[in-house]
Structure 1
Amino acid sequence: MAEATREALPLVDATGAHFIIVEGRFYDSLNDQLIAGAVAAFAASGATSEVVTVPGALEIPVAIEILRQQAESGRRKADGFVALGVVIRGETTHYEIVSNESARELIALATRHRLAFGNGILTVENMAQAEARANPSRGDKGGDAARAALALYALKRSA
């Protein structure tokens, strides 16, 4: 089945904003591609970004909460967050646990704290699907996650 296409989101002017990309580092080359897409999207909007690395997708919500608290206390700048990682189905139920629990907690965290947030954790069946989605010149899911965070950042600023 072909992936649906959609119109690109309008470019957000986020000059002076700073976003934190939290990656669950498991598949190095895939994560590098996701990060490249996200960094490029932030740069195109005038925002800066930094990458914080944790071991896997389950640690991402915990890291974002820690970073959010640091930003709230003034110890770190963060206007929004992006979660990046790759979860590929294996032979056990671990895939379901990681996929469902990381997504559930990320949405709860973003909603509870009204975060400008984008979720770019790929949940796929195989490596070919992951490669197609991670590559900035093909699926650009890292860039999509950054653009989602930028759209929510713009919405927060307009409120």
Structure 2
Amino acid sequence: MATQLKNLSDFSATEIPSAAPYSFGIVVAEWNAEITNALYQGAYNSLIANGALPDNIQTYPVPGSFELTSGADLLLNNTGLDAIICLGCVIQGETRHFDFICNAVANGLSNVAIKYSKPVIFGVLTTDNQQQAIDRAGGKHGNKGDEAAITAIKMAALAKTLER
């Protein structure tokens, strides 16, 4: 089904474990704050709705999406969090800056996840324009923050299942 016809945040066909046993870090880019604040609200509310305790959710702002990697690395190096949710928004401009930032963030977050063997969730919008970002930050296509939170819960549960 085409994205334009679908709410991407519909989790009715999936089982979501309780978030109660886990602790989460949310790293939020301050750049494109209108969008990232909406992503944050979606993530936070989804964690709470699925049983996370407010005291088990730590939030840290970083200047932009590029700094999400450093933020996630610092958190995992200095805390015992079970999963990190990284939220940002990069909107295509007239230069190749968009490509460099998106690639660096995606690769950087993957590397941090591997380095610590912990879930580091990519909740970064990479859109062509502001309207696409709005549509994916609580608009007609749902909220990528919700998706990131559900992914964090599921991955934290998987990691706990595989612990020995």
Same fold (TM over 0.5): yes
Contact 2:7 2:142 in 1 (8 A): no
Partner SS, residue 136 of structure 2: helix
* Distance in 2, Cα, partners of 1:13 & 1:49: 14
Unaligned runs of 5+ in 2: none
* 1:62 and 2:62 aligned: no
Give per-residue Cα distances to partners, 1:9-46, cap 9 Å, x unaligned: 32221214221110111112111110011001110222
Q: Which amino acid aligns with 1:12?
A: P
CA distance in 1, matches of 2:117, 2:58: 20
State the distance in 2 between where 1:136 and 1:40 align. 16
Distance 1:16 1:154, change over 3 A: closer
Q: Which of 58, 71, 76 does residue 50 from structure 1 map onto?
A: 58
Identity of aligned residues (%): 30
Deviating above 6 A after TM superposition, structure 1's stretches of 4 or more consecutive aligned residues are: none
1:153, 1:107 → 2: CA distance? 16
Once the two structures are superposed, the pairs formed by residues 20-35 of structure 1 within 5 Å of their partners are 20-35=25-40
1:134 to 132, 137, 148: 137
**Unaligned regions of 5+ residues in structure 1, if any?**
72-76
- Work out the number of aligned pairs and report it: 154
Q: Which amino acid aligns with 1:114?
A: S
Please report the TM-score for the alignment, with normalisation by the length of structure 2: 0.86
Once residues 78 and 71 of structure 2 are traced to their aligned partners in structure 1, the CA distance between those partners, rounded to angstroms, is 11
